[in-house]
A = this chain, B = another copy of it.
Amino acid sequence: MSSGSIASASSRSNMRLTSVVSHLSDSKPKVVICRDLGPATALLMNRTDIEVVLWPEDRGCAREWLLENIKGAVGVLVLLPDIVNAELLEAAGPNLRVVSTMSVGYEHIDLPLMAQRKIRVGYTPDVLTEAVADLSVMLALMAGRNDGVAYSLVKNGDASGSWSKFNWSPFTFCGPQLSTTASSPNRTVGFLGFGRISQATLARLVPFGITHCIYTGSPTSKPETARDAALKAKYKLAAVERVDLDRLARESDVLFVLTPGGKETYHLVDAAFLKKMKEMSVLINTSRGTVVDSDALATALHEKWIWGAGLDVVEGEPRIGTDHPLVKEPRCVIVPHIGSATFQTRMDMATRAIDNLIGGVFGTEMPAELDAR
């Protein structure tokens, strides 16, 4: 399916020529695709009603290539690293009708400018809910169960050698248990933000025996007491309750950060918040790195204010070196923003992004259109 290798092998002396182009014609609307979409690329290249210009290399789209190739385009399919700003619109010219991003986030798109120019914007929410909820549960288990240390022992050995040499004792590698037991029958799960992914994560935790669910919502949002009562009854929990940040920090045994990024949520989890948390609690962040103050979290782990952390996102990513203070904390498990990285979900996201693009190009419905106004 991938056509990148063919294009890469051709001459790069003329940027236009190194692109993969389908059905070249002046009469057909031109769309620019900033990334090979793997198996989904065929969904675009097989169409005869559009001209497709595809970034040909197996790395992020070069800005100069994009500025050159977007001239006259009606639509563009972008990813998080592709900044959609005045410069890009200027290069595109007046034909541009739609920007479709293969992401649930849209920090890279200047939305007021899009509204002003009447350019429609598509994104890919919902389809990644299940994959991110899966990863959230995985990280909660890994952070509690000392997985970083345990895994590293087997894989890399440690100061005292590898598995074959380590000194077992009845409490080696022990951590707090996610599931309840007869002698430890209560578990409170907290959510900073209680949208679709949080609720999908909650559903997964019910058979682990969790008993209480608390969460914080945006200060401007309305209470949803009827929904909460329904969730409480459905899952047979002792509580599903919206609380303030103070209670969220103090009462959660496992705390999931699942809130949008941006100024409103910047460093909501800071030193003051972390100091209120339980000593045996774990913190999971599978949303945006900016919500958590990395230095404060590193201190919290180092000084054992909390038990552990599981992170799919870190502020400043991907510029996170092996000397980052969180990477060096043994009880911090970090994966490189793979929340939606499953074949099923990424294929769904690519398909959704393509459907949004096509809807925008032909002025029909877009399955997931952002209201940019």
Contact = CB atoms under 8 A, between A and B. Distances in A.
Contact of A170 (B146, B171, B322, B346): B346
Contact of A171 (B147, B150, B207, B346): B346
Given A157-B322, A206-B207, A171 B335 contact: no
Interface stretch (A11-19, A33-41, A218-226, A264-272): A33-41
Contacts of A230: none
A54 to B, nearest CB: 13
B156 A156 contact: yes
A155 B148 CA distance: 9
Interface string A52-76: 0000001110000000000000000
B142 A142 contact: yes
Nearest to A326: B154
Interface stretch (A159-167, A188-196, A291-299, A355-363): A159-167
A150 B156 CA distance: 15
A10 interface: no
A318 B171 CA distance: 17
A227 to B, nearest CB: 18
Nearest to A312: B150
A81 to B, nearest CB: 8
A164 B346 contact: no
A162 B322 contact: yes
B35 A177 contact: no
A37 B164 contact: no
B130 A341 contact: no
A354 B350 CA distance: 58
Nearest to A177: B342
Contact of A343 (B156, B167, B177, B333): B177
10 contacts: A131-B179, A150-B336, A156-B322, A162-B321, A163-B336, A164-B318, A166-B336, A173-B336, A183-B351, A204-B207
Interface of A: 35-38, 40, 58-60, 79, 81, 102, 127, 130-131, 133-135, 137-138, 141-142, 144-148, 150-157, 162-164, 166-184, 203-204, 206-209, 317-322, 327, 333-336, 338, 341-351
Given A133-B179, A154-B334, A183-B348, 19 more contacts: A35-B169, A60-B168, A130-B208, A137-B137, A147-B335, A153-B336, A154-B335, A157-B322, A163-B321, A163-B336, A164-B318, A170-B349, A173-B338, A181-B344, A181-B348, A183-B347, A183-B351, A184-B344, A204-B208
